[in-house]
């Protein structure tokens, strides 16, 4: 779920984590695993939240997925 509930910490919602993903991807395309490792270090998220964020960004047509890398659409 992308929308936060009233019981969640707003710093760990998929919307905030997606913004951090965009910030990382502005520097250049990333590998799936490297991007996940960076997010785990900063937010200590699980794989389910990671895939929710990627799905949200992909459906919003903000990122592209090519082979094993993720980048921002121009």
pTM to 2 decimal places:
0.85
Domain-located, residue 1: no
- 63 CB-contact burial (10 Å; exposed 0-12 / middle 13-18 / buried 19+): buried
Domain-located, residue 4: no
CATH code where residue 50 lies: 1.10.10
Domain-located, residue 3: no
Both tokens of residue 3? 């929308």
| Calpha distance 11→62 (Å, rounded) | 21
| The dihedral sign for the CA sequence 35, 40, 46, 52 | negative
How does pLDDT run across 25-71, given as a tens digit for each residue?
999 999 999 999 999 998 888 998 899 999 999 999 999 999 889 99
| Structural domain that includes position 29 | 10-72
Number of structural domains the chain divides into = 1
Domain-located, residue 29: yes
């Amino acid at each position: 779920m992308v929308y936060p509930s009233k019981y969640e910490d707003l710093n760990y919602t998929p919307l905030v984590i997606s913004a951090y993903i965009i910030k990382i991807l502005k520097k250049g395309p990333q590998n799936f695993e490297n991007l996940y490792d960076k997010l785990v270090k900063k937010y200590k998220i699980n794989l389910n939240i990671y895939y929710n964020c990627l799905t949200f960004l992909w459906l919003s047509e903000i990122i592209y997925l090519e082979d094993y890398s993720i980048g921002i659409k121009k």
